[in-house]
Amino acid sequence: MLEQQIVNAISLGSVYALFALGFTLIFGILGVINLSHGGIFMLGAYAALLLLTRVNLPFWAALPLAMIGAGLLGLAIDALILKVLRKRGAPHLMPMIATIGAAILMTSLAQGLFGSETRRFPIDLFDQENLTFGSISIPLLQASITGLSVVLMVLMIWILRRTRLGQALRAIAESPRAAALLGIPVERLFHLTSFVAAALGGAAGILIGLSFDAISPFMGQPMLHKGIAAIILGGLEAVRAAVLGGLFLGATEVFAVTFLSSEYRDALSFGLLFLVLLWRPQGLFGAAATRSA
């Protein structure tokens, strides 16, 4: 029983972490709080749904295509909104408000196109098999969700830590101006970051849609709150914070449902957020450092 809940916590937490990772990439590298990340998350799920049900693609093809679609949406938001504000040297509040607008636009667009009712992925997407490890049995669906999130996160962390591209991105996170003067094509990497972050957000949308067996135009907003909570819980230290905070939030929710009741789920996790802000503003896992990016 407890083992099963731990598996659930890791599974849910890893998807939160994936969502928060995309959100934090934009924050760390572009220096923008992108409040349309929840909208991208939601449209990513719908894109996969369309590819699965209308185009009849298999899941392994629909997932990357929907991620590319979400990525292009993120790229469009960067090119049409954020870039314009950057060029104008607009204060931080402006991209935040502009992306709220983009999020509302996406939600009502989804309502108009797909209707307000909750939709589901096809039931036969994954075999109803279980993977059994000793006394724990993990449904194949849950194992796939966790596996995909972990693979995407490890890939991102590897790129950021170990590659020349990642080094350029970390340089931009610290100082876009200094990076540009060293010959790093900052604008191009802003676009790339927007694409990748949105693709990760779209992937998280698909995995959450699978995990809760529900897709709706309104799924983005609560997820956005959770993403922000995850990076604050983790400590605003970009990648590590997003991952640890996401896992922690997932665990809190699962255990709140297990030991209290599902009504208290959000009350507990956001109550915890307040406590962290009061007593440990650098986050549960963060060093007491400030970020300049």
Partner 1 sequence: MLALHRISHHFGGVRALDDVTLTVEKGGIQGLIGPNGAGKTTLFNVITGLFRPSEGTLSFEGHNLLQMPPHRIATCGIARTFQNIRLFSEMTLIDNVVVGMHARLAYGTLGWMLRTRAFRQAEAGARQQARQLLERVGLAGHDNELAGNLSYGNQRKLEIARALAAEPRLLLLDEPVAGMNSTEKNEIMSLVKSLRQDHMTVLLIEHDMRFVMGLCDTLAVLNFGHVIAQGSPAQIQANPAVIEAYLGQEESA
- Select 54 or 164, whichever has its Cβ closest to partner 1: 164
- Select 54 or 177, whichever has its Cβ closest to partner 1: 177
**What is 27-51 written as a DSSP string?**
IIII----TTHHHHHHHHHHHHHHH
Tell me the backbone φ, ψ of residue 238, rounded to 5 degrees. Answer: 55, -125
Question: What is d(CA 27, CA 277) in angstroms, rounded to the nearest whole number?
Answer: 19
Write down the least CB distance from residue 57 to partner 1, Å. 25
CA nearest neighbour of 67 among 172, 151, 187: 151
* DSSP one-letter code for 288: S
Write down the least CB distance from residue 164 to partner 1, Å. 4
Question: What is d(CA 209, CA 154) in angstroms, rounded to the nearest whole number?
Answer: 22
Which residues contact partner 1 (rule: CB under 8 A)? Answer: 163-165, 167-168, 170-171, 174-175, 177-187
Q: Residue 279 CB: number of other CB atoms within 10 A?
A: 8
- Select 70 or 168, whichever has its Cβ closest to partner 1: 168
Q: CA-CA distances (angstroms) from residue 236 to 89, 205, 279? A: 24, 23, 15
- Select 54 or 188, whichever has its Cβ closest to partner 1: 188
Write down the least CB distance from residue 163 to partner 1, Å. 4
- Select 6 or 180, whichever has its Cβ closest to partner 1: 180
- Select 62 or 153, whichever has its Cβ closest to partner 1: 153
Write down the least CB distance from residue 207 to partner 1, Å. 24
Write down the least CB distance from residue 184 to partner 1, Å. 5
Q: CA-CA distances (angstroms) from residue 56 to 46, 62, 122, 205, 228? A: 14, 9, 10, 19, 35
Write down the least CB distance from residue 17 to partner 1, Å. 21
